[in-house]
């Protein structure tokens, strides 16, 4: 898959802080994929939002906003 290879190239070259968010009820993107994604990033961090599925920004905007605030407050 071309898209997968492009994503892998990006992951290998990204050196900025990245927060990967997932819901503990997400079905469309398995938890293991989120764990792998965060682990592949040199400055990746995984955050699981309790009680949420795939549409976290819509269903839990305050939790997403809090994670964004933490991300931008992190020194580079």
Q: Is the alpha carbon torsion for 21, 19, 37, 10 positive or negative?
A: positive
Q: How many CB atoms lie within 10 A of CB 19?
A: 17
Structural domains of the chain, with CATH: 2-73 (3.40.50.11320)
pTM attached to this predicted model: 0.81
Q: How confident is the prediction along the chain (76 residues), in pLDDT tens digits per residue? A: 677 778 778 888 888 899 999 999 988 888 898 999 999 999 999 999 999 998 999 999 999 999 999 999 988 7
For residue 72 the two structure tokens come to: 């931008």
């Amino acid at each position: 898959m071309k898209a997968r290879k492009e994503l892998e190239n990006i992951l290998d070259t990204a050196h900025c802080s990245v927060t990967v968010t997932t819901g503990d009820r997400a079905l469309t993107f398995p938890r293991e994929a989120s764990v792998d994604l965060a682990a592949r990033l040199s400055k990746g961090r995984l955050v699981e939002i309790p009680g949420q599925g795939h549409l976290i920004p819509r269903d839990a905007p305050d939790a997403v906003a809090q994670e964004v605030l933490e991300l931008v407050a992190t020194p580079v």
